[in-house]
Amino acid sequence: MALHQDGQPGDSQPGDNLPEDHRPGDDLPGVRHRYVDARGLRMHVAEAGEGPLVVLLHGFPECWYSWRHQLTALAEAGFHAVAPDQRGYCRTGGPQAADEYTILHLTGDVIALMDALGEQRAFVAGHDWGAPVAWHTALLRPDRVRGVIGLSVPYRPRGSSLPTRKMRAQIGDGFYMLYFQQPGVAEAELGRDLEQTFARVLYGASGDAPGGLPLVPPGGGFLDICAEPPPGQPLPGWLTARDMDVFAAEYREAGFAGPLNWYRNLDRNWELTAPWHHAPITVPALFVAGDRDLVVAWSGGRQMLPRLHDCAPQLREPLLLDGCGHWTQQERPDEVSRAMIGFLRELEGA
């Protein structure tokens, strides 16, 4: 997630095919793994197919594997799908300083990746935290983005007050994003038992779990607000024990400090994006989410959908998936892939 030091496209670094770094998810048919030099950041990418470039940006706490279904679907549809581990995550890793995880770093990394792959323009899709990165890449560099797709998190223009101040006033100090502001605390909690962490986070935020407010109880932690899969009952059809093992293996070495640093730049991002205050997204756009996603509920539910066009004039009709929770492209892979491919093909034919 940054650019080449020497400006040469397509360079990769030693370990390109990852023979010494094989992990449980690396055996997906048709998916290749390598490292690219994204302007000084050694970025791990999973990719499939050939054709127009589609960059797939994961969220928290996820990695390239979140796009496993779309990598192959997009490849079969004639696209070059590339899912990086973003800055601070898993095999890519990143700097220790929290202030090196601003939205300018993150969007710069997307442009850097495009340059490393030798592409002037690309489609950019993002889910969860990847969605704001995708939206801001389209906002800051519309000359490089052919179309943008946001999953779960809609585009929100810069507001009029510091985000953390607004969260405390409207939600309270227990809001999980405020809990994440404390260096070392959430890292220790989430890294204590990786299998348990991913079982609770993936199930707890899905459309199969009971809903609830994301408020950390006094003296508690983030996992206290994540429902456990019911003991003795099978997991939802979209989530397997292998999936959770893959996520745990990806996080075992790198941990959570880098990913949590994204949250520690909420106020800094607000300050840095002052020139784009209330600025709209001007490129063609698509938004897909689940109607049981807490992000959607907190944004106003179905009633917020018409308002999205005010912020993104070229937004296509938003797609809200019945019964789907937060993990949009994992819970409903076929529907999401169809919507994405339809949008991409429309723009390809324009």
Per-residue pLDDT tens over the stretch 248-288:
999 999 999 999 999 999 999 999 999 999 999 999 999 99
Judging by beta carbons within 10 Å of its beta carbon (0-12, 13-18, 19+), is residue 233 exposed, middle or buried? exposed
8-17, 135-144, 315-324: segment of lowest average pLDDT: 8-17
CA dihedral 162, 276, 57, 43 (to 10 degrees): -100
For the chain, which residues make up each domain, given as ranges? Answer: 19-349
Q: What single-letter amino acid sits at 53? A: L
- Rounded-to-integer distance, Cα 178 and Cα 140, Å: 27
Question: Which pLDDT score is estimated for 302?
Answer: 85
- Enter the tokens of residue 280: 């709209």
Read off the DSSP letter of residue 323.
Answer: T
DSSP strands (E only) in the chain: 32-38, 41-48, 53-57, 80-84, 122-127, 145-151, 285-290, 319-321
pTM of the model: 0.94
> Does CATH number 3.90.79.10 belong to domain 19-349?
no
Question: Which pLDDT score is estimated for 350?
Answer: 60
List residues with catalytic annotation: 128, 326
Q: What single-letter amino acid sits at 239? A: L
